[in-house]
Amino acid sequence: MGIINCSPESFFRPSYAPPKNVHKMAVSLIEGGADIIDIGARSTAPDTSVIPVNEEISRVKRSLEELKGIDIPLSLDTTRPEVLRAALHYEINAINDIGGLSNPDYARMIADSGLSPVVMAAKREPGDPKSFEEVLYALMLVEERCIQYKIESYILDPGIGRWSNERGPELDISICTDFSVFKKYKRPLLGALSRKSFIGDITGRPPEGRLAGSLAFTMMILNGGANIIRTHDVPETVDCIKVFEAAGKRK
Specify whether 196 is catalytic. Answer: yes
Taking CA atoms, 135 is separated from 11, 39, 187, 214, 240, in Å, by: 24, 25, 16, 21, 27
Written as tens digits, the pLDDT of the chain (251 aa) is 999 999 988 888 889 999 999 999 999 999 999 999 999 999 887 778 889 999 999 999 999 999 999 999 999 999 999 999 999 999 999 999 999 999 999 999 999 999 999 999 999 999 899 999 999 999 999 999 999 999 999 999 999 999 888 888 999 999 999 999 999 999 999 999 999 999 999 999 999 999 999 999 999 999 999 999 999 999 999 999 999 999 986 55
What is the spatial distance between Cα 25 and Cα 16, in angstroms, rounded to a whole number? 9
Catalytic, out of 230, 242, 249, 251: 230
Question: What pTM does this model have?
Answer: 0.94
Catalytic, out of 59, 61, 80, 196: 196
Instruction: Please give the pLDDT value at position 13.
Output: 87
Strand partners, 3: 38
Instruction: Please give the pLDDT value at position 83.
Output: 97
How many Cα atoms sit within 13 Å of 127 on the Cβ side? 16
What is the spatial distance between Cα 47 and Cα 143, in angstroms, rounded to a whole number? 30
Please name which of 240, 245, 142 lies closest in space to residue 194, comparing C-alpha atoms. 240
CB-CB contact of 31 with 40 (8 Å): no
What is the spatial distance between Cα 126 and Cα 138, in angstroms, rounded to a whole number? 10
**What value does the CA radius of gyration of the chain take, rounded to a whole number of Å?**
17
Specify whether 184 is catalytic. Answer: no
Tens digit of each residue's pLDDT (9 = 90 or more) over 37-50:
999 999 887 778 88
